[in-house]
Amino acid sequence: MKQSVKLVAGNWKMNGLGESLAEAETLAKALKEQAAACRVALCPPATLIARMAQTLKGGVVEIGGQDCHAKASGAYTGSVSAGMVRDAGAGLVILGHSERRAGFGETDADVAAKVEAALAAGLEPIICIGETLQEREAGQAVEVVSRQVAGSLPVSLAGKAFAVAYEPVWAIGTGLTPTLEQIEEVHAAVRAAMIARLGEGGRAAPILYGGSVKPSNAAEILAVAEVGGALVGGASLKAEDFLGIIRAV
């Protein structure tokens, strides 16, 4: 099947102050000079979006947010709307990351509402799904991600630019990764669930893999059928590691 160009996105999470900001800026500047065979995006904390947009101006590296509110404006103290993320300089936004699902109680319905807000603001959502270790051990990985796709992807996504990121919760930040066969099995199931939900509109969007991607495993993971890119956490804060992953595409 013809797939869209691969997307490698770095999720800086709540990092980017002091030494980690200096390292992140070194990475951003190096990326600007680096030719890549894929789309590359950096997703800094909201406070750094405008700064990174300035640093990366004129290059091909894209900027993403890590979350947005489902409402366009109003009395939501502490929140940032999709329009604000866009206005700060982002073109993409990560939604439904497992750290938000677990730490902030975000449900599939919450994620779907945020996706609608992102689309209305002209942002390309990267919608995260993935099973916990307990679900994996119970043999429920495919069932869980299929349910998350059905619940987190609004039908309005059909025909729009977006990505889904399969991130097994137990692989995030742990150094553990599923086998290549397990990745292939889940990505195939995610694609089937996307088509069931969006019809033909669910065929083209890339399905990223996320969870302990590093230079040494990136090439083999990115070569798996239906892996349309990577969502990278820890390794996206170190210039050498993130550049190594991009070179592996």
- Kindly state whether residue 173 participates in binding ligand PEP, applying the rule CB under 6 A: yes
Selected from 28, 233, 245, 246, the binder of ligand PEP by CB under 6 A is: 233
Q: State yes or no: residue 11 binds ligand PEP (CB under 6 A).
A: yes
Question: 166, 130 in Cβ contact below 8 A?
Answer: yes
Give 55 or 212: the residue with its C-beta nearer to ligand PEP: 212
Phi, psi for 231 (deg, rounded to 5) = -110, 120
Which of the residues 97, 124, 131, 135 is marked catalytic?
97
97 an active-site residue? Answer: yes
Q: Does 232 bind ligand PEP (CB under 6 A)?
A: yes
Q: Is 187 noted as a catalytic residue in this protein?
A: no
* Cα angle for residues 39, 202, 65 (degrees, 5° grid): 45
Alpha helices in the chain (DSSP H): 19-33, 49-55, 82-88, 98-103, 108-120, 133-137, 141-152, 180-198, 215-222, 239-248
- Give the span between the Cα atoms of 120 and 156, in whole angstroms: 10
Residue with tokens 């807000």: 117
Question: With binding defined as CB under 6 A, does residue 211 bind ligand PEP?
Answer: yes
Please identify, using beta-carbon distances, which residue of 211 and 229 lies nearer to ligand PEP. 211
CB of 199 to ligand PEP, least distance (A): 28
- Report, in Å, the least distance between residue 243 CB and ligand PEP: 15
Interface positions, 133-172, toward ligand PEP (CB under 6 A): 167, 172
Measured between its terminal Cα atoms, the distance across the chain in Å is 18
DSSP 26-76: HHHHHHHH---SSEEEEE--GGGHHHHHHHTTTSS-EEEES--BSSSSSS-
Verify binding: residue 178, ligand PEP, rule CB under 6 A.
no
User: What tokens appear for 121 in the block?
Assistant: 């603001």
81 binds ligand PEP (CB under 6 A): no
Stretch that binds ligand PEP, among 46-54, 189-197, 200-208, 225-233 (CB under 6 A): 225-233
53/245 with CB nearer ligand PEP: 245
CA-based nearest residue to 210, from 167, 155, 158: 167
Q: How far is the CB of 202 from ligand PEP (least distance, A)?
A: 22
234 lines the binding site for ligand PEP (CB under 6 A): yes
Q: Which residues are catalytic?
A: 97, 167
Binding site for ligand PEP (CB under 6 A): 11, 167, 172-173, 210-213, 231-235
